[in-house]
Structure 1
Amino acid sequence: MTTVKIPYAKTYMEAHIPDNKLQGILLSKAHSYKATGSEEELVQQALENPIDSPRLSDLAKGKKNIVIITSDHTRPVPSHIISPLIVKEIRKSNPNGKITFLIATGFHRLTTKEELACKFGEKFMNEINIVIHDCRDESSLIKIGTLPSGGETIINRLAAEADLLVAEGFIEPHFFAGYSGGRKSVLPGVASQVTVLANHCSEFIHNKKARAGILEGNPLHVDMLAAAQQAHLAFIVNVVIDDKKKIIKAYAGNSVKAHETGCKFVEELAAVPAKPADIAITSNGGYPLDQNLYQSVKGMSAAEATVRDGGVIIICTACNDGHGGDAFYKWFAEAPGGPQEVMDKIMQIPANATIADQWEAQILARIQLHAHVIVVTDQCDHKLIKEMHMQATDTLNEALTLAENIVGKDATITVVPDGVSVIVKS
């Protein structure tokens, strides 16, 4: 019998798998990687040795309006470590320039004051100027160009009019953009809903290269790169974190080259071969990534890559914030025909008519058409989950029993403890 810990909220669940059923445990090497210094030291070293760029302190000289884009409450970016060091670097050469932190909410709900305090630390939060991006507030947005796909590049006016635009974030596999970090701070981070919708169209999401670990030829990535370049994103500080959300590596410098370098490192750690099985158990990495079903589709997509057709995906995810998007929820709740009905409707929508959250619904429908999905949570209404054509249990043991009733008592099992941290390659 093998016992595997599955991240869940701020704790974990345990899976007890008979050895004769266990096909494999797919883990990112990031979880065992030994960093060469403290978290602060790693970020400071990156700032002192930028990739393909002058130091940030040099770029900041004489600038009056500096904007730092940073991730929102759905991303475990350790801003309490990164942000003060960025500010310190800027202040070396620019003691008086205005610095604004712009929260990249993308298409998510707005971040709360409590979440900002958790992100930055209350003391630092009270010392800085913070603006929360709202993709639907047209008065705060401005068009700066056109995307390669033909959509308009409309972003937050603060970012567009900055003398110096900087972004902090983290790099991990992303289920349709290839990797997080870098250019994603601009699109979707501080982009208009119009721009996000154009980029997240059904044609792009359907593309075989819109998968975790793929940048070259990924149509979403191409648009995102263009948006960052049009916004003049001058400098990034991106980190790589382990399963404890601790920084193990940091990259700073040119928004393209530094990000590419970080992505190569993440691929070395995160790429794992698929271990086909009847049942795949996974998670969304625990808090803060497992706060809702919307985000949890990411973890499901890792299991999708290793579970057999017609098998069962079990995802342990708290979803204390519910579905995470009313439009996302309604795609399924208002589709009596289930995932096939959802998929058929979405694939008929042209790029210039993309509907809010259809991309997440499209991927979830794709996953459901491939395998049954069981959500393990004691913090979310099971009725809501069932209305989205998935099953739900309070415990992992209950889920395993339910899964075996679907695929048989002799079902094989693969475990992907942290679904958002790996690139499963078939």
Structure 2
Amino acid sequence: MQKTNNVLRAKWRSWYGKEEFQLPLHESWRITRAAMRGAPTLSDAELRARLDTPLDSPPLHELARGKENACIAIDDLTRPTETFRVLPLLLDTLNAAGISDERILVLVSLGTHRPLHRDDLLKKVGGAVLRRVRIYNHNPYLNLKNVGVTTYGTPVLINRHFADAALKLSIGLVAPHSYAGFSAGGKIVLPGLASWETVLSNHKPASKILSGQVGQIEGNTRRAEIDEAAKLAGLDYSINLVSNEDGETAWLTCGEVTAAWRAAATRAAEIYATQAPVGADIGIFNAFPKDTELLQALNALTPWNPGAGRRDIVREGGSIVIITAASEGHGWLGLNNPGAPLHQRRDRHPVYQAMLQNRNLFFFSPNLAPIDLLDHYPPQVRTFAEWEQLRSVLEEYHSQNTAVAFFPCGPLQLCSADLK
């Protein structure tokens, strides 16, 4: 394989030794690096200043004063949230307001994802926090409390520890979501702390008739139900982080749940905005910073939104390449695994069907084997552990005069033309 100056560079291996990859392509190929607008990483001083500026809420130390205990909900390793930077500051604030570490519980809002173990928690919250407070994984099958029914008819059963806490807080990452618009805010409760029946009821519209789209803030009924469930659960105070291309915190809002989330989502749309090319012969989508497992990998296609009625990023007959470290291999999504109610082949899923139709699909990952794809993709979809092998296949499919669109952090990127 001849040497080339056409090299793709971006971060990968979120939570597993984050580093830069360098992947060469044919010298004659025309590469467009479609990066998001981005923003610099907040310094520790800037992070503290943002935490001291709540929206539509008294300061946290005032909310905490006189409370018997507190429960803090956090997300898992499928999100690059820098909880390890924020959580120690929250604990110190609660301590100063009179809530000791022994009366603080941290809950990992898993929805139906896998539980976190000690090594995972060391990454997510840090060793010092592990030695200070109790940390439990949410269980969607046990220890649940019914807090009401949404106006959309979903019964809201949530984690009893959270429901019974005197003060309820959350930390989450605002990332584009296929029907909730963006994650974080009330989504830490639904689906994060909900029963599997509640999660299923809320997720069903995502696989039938969508009532919300990626990046949509206004008029999104799925998001409205999520926010309503958070209010039924009594979520008092929400902290929302926005990431940058390096998977680091570029913005933070906190305060009343809906106000803080909307402000963070608005800022996220600005940071994640991407001028997306159209009609490329090859689209290469990096799944960082949500590249821990295969089942999250198609989040890399987030900047491509066929539902918006625009031209396709990759032409029909072209090739799609998904880059994912998949450090945890196949992964686990409880309601989407084979035999579960929401399982369906990815090329038949309404979010991805139009993108994958009449195009070649390839994965590049050192931690996946062809057998990992079997239950989720048609047999012609291939995965490669060695980049040079995949590059050779791409060169067989495409001529020297080939246009390549490269998205360095696909799960966070939003096409500027889709943002309202």
- Contact 1:178 1:215 (C-alpha < 8 Å) held by counterparts: yes
SS at structure 2 position matched to 1:29: coil
- Contact 2:242 2:252 (C-alpha < 8 Å) held by counterparts: yes
Q: What displacement does 1:416 show?
A: 0.5
Measured at CA, do residues 206 and 27 of structure 1 come closer, stay the same or move farther in structure 2, by a change above 3 Å?
A: farther
2:242 is aligned to 240
1:188 is aligned to 191
Q: What displacement does 1:107 show?
A: 1.5
1:27 is aligned to 35
For residue 53 of structure 1, the aligned residue among 29, 53, 57 is 57
1:14 is aligned to 22
For residue 219 of structure 2, the aligned residue among 217, 220, 234 is 217
2:259 is aligned to 257
Q: Distance in 1 between matches of 2:344 and 2:62?
A: 43
Deviates more, 1:122-131 or 1:210-219: 210-219
Measured at CA, do residues 231 and 316 of structure 1 come closer, stay the same or move farther in structure 2, by a change above 3 Å?
A: same
Q: TM-score, normalised by structure 1?
A: 0.85
Measured at CA, do residues 309 and 329 of structure 1 come closer, stay the same or move farther in structure 2, by a change above 3 Å?
A: farther
For residue 322 of structure 1, the aligned residue among 321, 326, 329 is 329
For residue 285 of structure 2, the aligned residue among 272, 275, 282 is 282
Counterparts in 2 of 1:263-342, with a 5 A limit?
Answer: 263-276=265-278, 277-286=280-289, 289-302=290-303, 306-325=313-332, 328=336, 330=338
> Are 1:87 and 2:91 matched, yes or no?
yes
SS at structure 1 position matched to 2:236: strand
Q: What is the total number of aligned residue pairs between the two structures?
A: 395
> Are 1:142 and 2:149 matched, yes or no?
no
1:355 is aligned to 341
2:106 is aligned to 101
- Contact 2:67 2:99 (C-alpha < 8 Å) held by counterparts: no
Report the AA paired with residue 240 of structure 2. N
Q: Distance in 2 between matches of 1:406 and 1:261?
A: 45
Counterparts in 2 of 1:65-80, with a 5 A limit?
Answer: 65-80=69-84
Measured at CA, do residues 173 and 318 of structure 1 come closer, stay the same or move farther in structure 2, by a change above 3 Å?
A: same
> Are 1:396 and 2:402 matched, yes or no?
no
Q: Distance in 2 between matches of 1:394 and 1:364?
A: 24
Q: Distance in 2 between matches of 1:238 and 1:174?
A: 15
SS at structure 1 position matched to 2:415: strand
Q: Distance in 2 between matches of 1:18 and 1:190?
A: 47
Report the AA paired with residue 41 of structure 1. A
Measured at CA, do residues 165 and 126 of structure 1 come closer, stay the same or move farther in structure 2, by a change above 3 Å?
A: same
- Contact 1:148 1:222 (C-alpha < 8 Å) held by counterparts: no
Deviates more, 1:299-308 or 1:251-260: 299-308
Q: Distance in 2 between matches of 1:18 and 1:238?
A: 41
Q: What displacement does 1:19 show?
A: 8.1
Q: What displacement does 1:386 show?
A: 5.1
For residue 167 of structure 1, the aligned residue among 167, 170, 173 is 170
Q: What displacement does 1:303 show?
A: 5.1
Q: Distance in 1 between matches of 2:260 and 2:92?
A: 20
For structure 1, which runs of at least 5 residues remain unmatched after alignment? 332-353
Percentage of pairs with the same residue: 24
> Are 1:368 and 2:356 matched, yes or no?
yes
For residue 377 of structure 1, the aligned residue among 365, 373, 378 is 365
CA deviation profile, 1:351-387 (whole Å, cap 9, x unmatched):
xxx9145597724555433633210011112232255
Q: Which has the higher helix share?
A: 1
Q: Distance in 2 between matches of 1:425 and 1:382?
A: 35
Q: What displacement does 1:193 show?
A: 0.8
- Contact 2:275 2:416 (C-alpha < 8 Å) held by counterparts: yes
> Are 1:417 and 2:414 matched, yes or no?
no
Q: What displacement does 1:111 show?
A: 0.9
